Amino acid sequence: MSTPTSTPTSTPTSTRTLETPPRVLPLYIRAAAPLIPGASLLPFLPGGGGQTPSMRLQLREARAEPDRLAAYSRVCGFTLGAHLPPTYPHVLAFPLHMALMADHAFPFGAVGVLHVANRIVQHRAIDALEPLAISAELTSLQPHPRGATFSFVSEASVDGELVWRETSTMLRLGARAPDGGRGRESEPGASSLGPGEGDGVGRGHPPSPVARWRIRADLGRRYAAVSGDCNPIHLHPLASRALGFASPIAHGMWTKARCLAHLQPRLPDAFAVEVRFKKPVVLPSSVELSVAFDGDAVRFLLSEPKREIVHLRGFVDEPARMAQADGGLG
C-alpha cells in the first residue's frame, strides 16, 4: 500500500494542465480505433509506443455537479450528504484516464483492457462542493501471465492538500511488457487481502452475509450515464459477445462503490480501501455481500454463493496500517 508521499513507478517527462475535462466519447473512439488493421500507424491514434507514455495530466479544477452526483449516489446506493462518496473522485479523474489511453504513445487500444484491482486512500472527508485539482499518470507495463498490467495513479487535492489518491490496475490481455521496464510493480493487494483465492478474505474469521442484491440487466447503461464510462462491454449484448462475454458485465467500479455504500455508516473520514476484481458480474445477476469486522478493519466479499463465484475481494483499514501490511504498489 502506498503512503501519501509515494510516487508512481514512472517519473513523468511532461505535464499538461487542462482547464476543462476532455470529452470522453471522442476519446473512446480514438482508443478503440486500433482494432482497425493499420490504424495504429496513424499519428493521432494510440498504438505507436512500446511502453506507457511518461505523461502527467492535471485538471486545474473539477467540481461535482449536484444533479450528476445525486444520480450517481442513487445508482450506487450511497446516501446523499455533505461529502463526496469515496469513489466519486474516480469519476472526475476518468476523462484523464481516457486521454492517456488515447495518446499516440500509448502502446495499444483500450478494447481488451480489464480492471483487475483498485486502491483508494481518502485522507479526509471531501466536501461535495469543494473544487478539486485532479491529476492522473501511468505506471509502466509489467508482465502478467495473461498479458501485461499497468496502473493509473490519480490524485485529488484542495489548495495543495492531497485529500484522495487512487491506483487503478489494468490488465491488457495478450499484451507483452517490453524488457527493461521503468520499474517492477507488485500485484496490488497480495498482502493486505491475504493469500489464496478461496472464498475467505485474508486473516480472521470468514465474512458473513449481510446483503443480497438483484442486479438489473440495464445496470451497465445506468452506471455509464452517471460515471461517463461508456465502454461497450457494459452496454449491449452484441459488444459483450464480441469480447467474449455472453451478456454485458457490470463495471468493476460500480461493484466497489455498491459495497462501500453498504459500509458507508461504518467508514471513518480517513481510510484506505483496496479491492481485487475476480470474476465479472454478468448482467442480470443476483449477488451477495459478506462482511467481517476486525477492530477498525473490514474485510468484504461480493459473490454468487450458489454458483461458487467470487466477484470481488476487498479490505478497508487505516491508511498507515494497510501501508505497513503490504508496502506494495507505488
Crossing angle, helix 219-227 and helix 88-102, to 10 degrees? 80
Q: Give the list of residues 6+ apart from residue 292 with CB closer than 8 angstroms, or none.
A: 201, 204, 205, 206, 207, 208, 298, 299, 300
The dihedral sign for the CA sequence 300, 269, 84, 276: negative
Q: Which range among 135-149, 187-201, 239-253, 263-277 shows the weakest confidence by mean pLDDT?
A: 187-201
- Residue 136 is predicted with a pLDDT of 97
User: Residue 325's pLDDT is what?
Assistant: 57
Confidence band for 107, pLDDT divided at 50, 70 and 90: confident
Q: How confident is the model at residue 322 (pLDDT cuts 50, 70, 90)?
A: confident
Question: Strands (DSSP E) along 97-237, which ranges?
Answer: 113-122, 132-138, 142-144, 147-158, 161-173, 208-215
In the chain, where are the structural domains located?
14-326
Q: Is pLDDT of 184 > 70?
A: no
For residue 236, name the pLDDT band (cuts at 50, 70, 90).
confident
Cβ contacts of residue 133 below 8 Å, gap of 6+? 58, 59, 60, 61, 62, 156, 157, 158
Pick the CATH number of 14-326 from 3.30.70.20, 3.10.129.10, 3.40.50.300, 3.10.620.30: 3.10.129.10
pLDDT tens-place string over residues 76-100: 999 999 999 999 999 999 999 999 9
**3-class secondary structure, 171:** strand
Using the predicted structure, report yes or no on whether residue 167 has a pLDDT greater than 50: yes
How far apart CA 276 and CA 192 sit, in angstroms, is: 11
Q: Which of 30-34, 144-148, 202-206 has the lowest mean pLDDT?
A: 30-34
Query: Residue 18 in 3-state DSSP?
Result: strand
Q: 102: pLDDT confidence band, cut at 50, 70 and 90? A: confident
Identify the band that residue 9 occupies on the pLDDT scale cut at 50, 70 and 90: very low
- Count CA atoms closer than 13 A to 209's CA, side-chain side: 8
For all residues of the chain together, what is the average pLDDT? 83
Inter-helix orientation angle 66-76/252-263, to 10°:
80
The string of DSSP codes covering 99-131 is HHHHSTTSSS-STTEEEEEEEEEESS--BTT--
Q: Is 166 helix (H, G, I), strand (E, B) or coil?
A: strand
Residue with C-alpha cell 471531501?
126
For residues 11 and 87, the answer to whether their CB atoms sit within 8 Å is: no
Q: What are phi and psi of 209, to 5 degrees?
A: -60, 135
Give the residue with greater pLDDT, 109 vs 187.
109
pTM: 0.85
Using omega within 30 degrees of 0 as the cis cutoff, is the peptide bond preceding 284 cis?
Answer: yes
